[in-house]
C-alpha cells in the first residue's frame, strides 16, 4: 500500500509539471502578413512613432498647413517616388502635385478628418514601415455634408511619408 501511495504522489507531481509544447506552426507564425507577388511576407509591430507622424500629418490637413504637409513627404523611397493612390483610381505623383490637389480640394469641399484607429507595422525585407489608419471624413459636396470612412495604408521611410493608398466607403444612413 505504501508503494502504491508513493507511486500516486510521484505520478501526480510528474504529470502536473508537464506543460504541453506549442506546435511548431504556432511558434513560427507572425502576427500579420502581406501576400504580394505570389509570396507571403510576414508583418510585425513597428515603431509607435509612426502613429505620431501620421497624426501630425492629418492635423496638418485639418489645419490646412500645406507647407507642413509638404515637409513631411519624402521625394523618393525604396518603393519609388512619393505618390497617393486615391479611392477613385486617381494617382497623385509628387509632393508638389499633392499640394496643388489639396488647395483645390480644401477650397471645393472643406474636408476634415477624425481618426478612429491606427496601427503601425513592419514587413520583413522592407526598409520602411507602415501605418494602417481609419478616419471619418466630413466634407461639403454640392452644398450638402457628406461623410465617408477612409482607410489609408501609409508607407513611411526615414521618418517621412513616402506613399499612401486610400480606400473609402460612404457612411450608412442612420434610421
Average pLDDT over residues 57-80: 95
Number of Cβ within 10 Å of residue 146's Cβ equals: 14
Q: In the block, which residue shows the cell 503601425?
A: 120
Q: How far apart are CA 139 and CA 62, in angstroms?
A: 11
What phi and psi values does residue 35 have, to the nearest 5 degrees? -100, 120
Task: Answer whether residue 101 shows pLDDT above 60.
Answer: yes
Decide: pTM greater than 0.85. Answer: no
Q: Could you tell me which residues come within 8 angstroms of residue 103 by beta carbon, excluding any fewer than 6 positions away?
A: 66
Considering the domain delimited by 45-170, tell me its CATH architecture: Roll (3.10)
Mean pLDDT of the chain: 88
156: alpha, beta or left? (left if phi > 0; alpha if psi -120 to 50): beta
Of 2-11, 22-31, 52-61, minimum mean pLDDT range: 2-11
Q: For residue range 124-144, what is the model confidence (pLDDT) as tens digits?
A: 998 999 999 999 999 999 999
Better pLDDT: 116 or 28? 116
Domain boundaries, the chain: 45-170
Amino acid at each position: 500500500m505504501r508503494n502504491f501511495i508513493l507511486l500516486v504522489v510521484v505520478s501526480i507531481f510528474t504529470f502536473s509539471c508537464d506543460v504541453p509544447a506549442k506546435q511548431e506552426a504556432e511558434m513560427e507564425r507572425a502576427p500579420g502578413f502581406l501576400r504580394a507577388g505570389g509570396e507571403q511576407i510576414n508583418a510585425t509591430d513597428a515603431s509607435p512613432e509612426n502613429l505620431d507622424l501620421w497624426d501630425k500629418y492629418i492635423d496638418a490637413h485639418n489645419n490646412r498647413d500645406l507647407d507642413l504637409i509638404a515637409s513631411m513627404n519624402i521625394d523618393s523611397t525604396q518603393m519609388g517616388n512619393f505618390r497617393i493612390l486615391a479611392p477613385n483610381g486617381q494617382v497623385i505623383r509628387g509632393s508638389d502635385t499633392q499640394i496643388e490637389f489639396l488647395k483645390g480640394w480644401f477650397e471645393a469641399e472643406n474636408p476634415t478628418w477624425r481618426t478612429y484607429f491606427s496601427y503601425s507595422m513592419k514587413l520583413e525585407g522592407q526598409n520602411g514601415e507602415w501605418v494602417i489608419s481609419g478616419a471619418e471624413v466630413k466634407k461639403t459636396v454640392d452644398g450638402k455634408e457628406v461623410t465617408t470612412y477612409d482607410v489609408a495604408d501609409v508607407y513611411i521611410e526615414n521618418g517621412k511619408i513616402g506613399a499612401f493608398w486610400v480606400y473609402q466607403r460612404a457612411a450608412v444612413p442612420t434610421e
